[in-house]
Amino acid sequence: GAVVSQHPSWVICKSGTSVKIECRSLDFQATTMFWYRQFPKQSLMLMATSNEGSKATYEQGVEKDKFLINHASLTLSTLTVTSAHPEDSSFYICSASVIWTGVNTEAFFGQGTRLTVV
């Protein structure tokens, strides 16, 4: 299957600093990328949907000024957590969607980034 690489896999940062997480589709062009957040022992919650070259669409309750998403190319999307606070500590997972010929679409997931804000 297609490979999605997410970097870094874990990061510890000080409160008030910003952290950037990268999501790359290695062997396909992803027209759409999704960013999810997972709290301990809970399901994945969609944060935002981004299409290459356009502004991300954020889910209700997600602060777009805090979670900056850039999807500059068909193989790269970035999520920047600005002015991080301990409550932002979580597991962040990206997903890239690819359209095969015709109708079918599939989504592939990165391995996730564990962010700890101290």
Partner 1 sequence: GEDVEQSLFLSVREGDSSVINCTYTDSSSTYLYWYKQEPGAGLQLLTYIFSNMDMKQDQRLTVLLNKKDKHLSLRIADTQTGDSAIYFCAERGSSRDDKIIFGKGTRLHILP
Residue closer to partner 1 (CB basis): 82 or 109: 109
Tokens representing residue 105 in the block? 């679409």
**Residue 95 binds partner 1, judged by CB under 8 A:** yes
Q: Enumerate residues 6+ apart whose C-beta is below 8 A from 40.
A: none
Q: Which residues pair with 45 in a beta bridge?
A: 37
Site for partner 1 contains 11 (CB under 8 A): no
Cβ atoms within 10 Å, residue 55 = 12
Among 42, 73, 83, 116, binds partner 1 (CB under 8 A): 42
User: In this structure, are residues 15 and 117 in contact, taking their beta carbons and an 8 Å threshold?
Assistant: yes
For partner 1, which residue of 14, 61, 101, 104 counts as binding (CB under 8 A)? 104
What are the residues binding partner 1 (CB under 8 A)?
A: 1, 6, 31-32, 34, 42-44, 46, 49, 51, 93, 95, 97, 99, 103-112, 114
